[in-house]
Amino acid sequence: MKKFLITGALGQIGSELAMELRKRYGNENVVASDLSKRESIVVESGPFEVLDITDSDKLDEIVKKHEINWIINLAAILSAVGEKNPSLAWEINMNGLFNVLEVARENNCAVFTPSSIAAFGPNTPKDDTPQDTIQRPNTMYGVTKVSGELLCDYYYEKFGVDTRGVRFPGLISYSTLPGGGTTDYAVHIYYEALKKGKFTCPLDEDTYMDMMYMPDAINAIIDLIEADASKLKHRNAFNVTAMSFNPEMIANEIKKHISEFTMDYDVNNDLQKIANSWPNSLDDSAAKKEWDWNPKYDLEAMTKDMLDKLKEKLNIEK
């Protein structure tokens, strides 16, 4: 029986993953944790611990107390915040991950940690970016992501820790707002379209990036956790994607539902620089081959669902 600990469980991914895991594996088998106890269905619906992942003793204590055998490490600082505070990004993304891997090694736990398209850099082939290619990121977030991939590989090779992970693109969801990334505009655009009928985009119109709707991301995590280990060659850094678009394309899709919607641009140079260093589109054939990765939502299906769900959430009639 799998018994999960999720770190950073009140964030964009964790708040939805915790609920889906509880549905599938039972509430008591999914221990959620985060820096503090915030108001959330995740805190109310099952076990919750206050945990700072830089505190390895507390992490070890919680793993022992709940007899955890899977740690899903979602505590992190994302790209935009990480560029403003690189030492914090290093402390949490690297030292935190190191603690997670050490505690996992000592307590025989498996570990899932997401990497990101940020693990690539300006020298990486931009289109159809291969699974195995040049990785020389020029952001602190990207440096921690590629180092994290290597550290997870090391713990598998050296100590036999069952480490797994994917390189997520920008994730779009209606439940919890994103935590300070470069792809966040693709979430905010839906809120602003419904609330104000207009959106000022911080990235220029030619900025292509890979994206994915949260239900596909949640399935990716659970499918990889459940995958037959003997079939996994890449383990910690599978390219996964569901769509690639630029701001014009998402705006045009929204206009099909909200005809009066308009978008203008006020480019944020810091964000633009980060986005320009990332791929336009990923090749995710290794994930398809090794564990049957198969996303369900494209831009059209995601936009319809996002707008329907957000209208309900924001109590908007349109």
Total of residues contacting ligand NAD (CB under 6 A): 28
Q: Examine residue 181 and tell whether it contacts ligand NAD (CB under 6 A).
A: yes
Total residue count of the chain as it appears in this document: 318
Nearer to ligand NAD, 94 or 249 (CB): 94
CB closer to ligand AKB out of 148 and 170: 170
Q: Is 13 in the site for ligand NAD (CB under 6 A)?
A: yes
| Contact partner at residue 130 from ligand NAD, ligand AKB, none, CB < 5 to 8 Å by partner kind | none
182 touches ligand AKB (CB under 6 A): yes
Chosen residue from 79, 163, 173, 281 binding ligand AKB by CB under 6 A: 79
3-state secondary structure of 184: coil
Neighbours of 75 (CB within 10 A): 24
Best CA proximity match to 148, nearest among 98, 102, 80, 210: 98
Single out the residue of 80, 100, 152, 171 in contact with ligand NAD (rule: CB under 6 A): 171
The residue among 169 and 295 lying less far from ligand AKB, judged by its C-beta, is: 169
Candidate list 110, 117, 161, 243; residue touching ligand AKB; CB under 6 A: 117
Identify the bridge partners of residue 262 per DSSP, sorted by sequence position: 198
Per rule CB under 6 A, is residue 10 in the interface with ligand NAD?
A: yes
Q: Is 141 a catalytic residue?
A: yes
- Is 183 a binding residue for ligand AKB by CB under 6 A? The answer is yes
Size of the residue set binding ligand AKB (CB under 6 A): 11
Candidates 62, 74, 75, 78: give the one binding ligand AKB (CB under 6 A).
78
Terminal C-alpha separation, the chain: 46
CA distance to 150, 233, 237, 243, per residue, from 165 (Å): 11, 12, 5, 19
Whether residue 191 contacts residue 151, with contact meaning beta carbons closer than 8 Å, is answered with no
Distance CA 129, CA 169 (A): 12
If DSSP codes are grouped into helix, strand and coil, which group holds residue 241?
coil
Q: Which of 7, 93, 99, 116 touches ligand AKB by CB under 6 A?
A: 116
Residues 6+ apart with CB under 8 A from 184: 80, 170, 178
Phi and psi torsions of 75, nearest 5°: -70, 125
Contact status: 186 vs ligand AKB (CB under 6 A): no
Phi, psi for 15 (deg, rounded to 5):
-65, -30
Residues with catalytic annotation?
141
Q: Which residues of the shown chain bind ligand NAD in the complex (CB under 6 A)?
A: 7-8, 10-14, 34-35, 51-54, 74-76, 78, 92, 96, 114, 116, 168, 170-171, 178-179, 181, 183
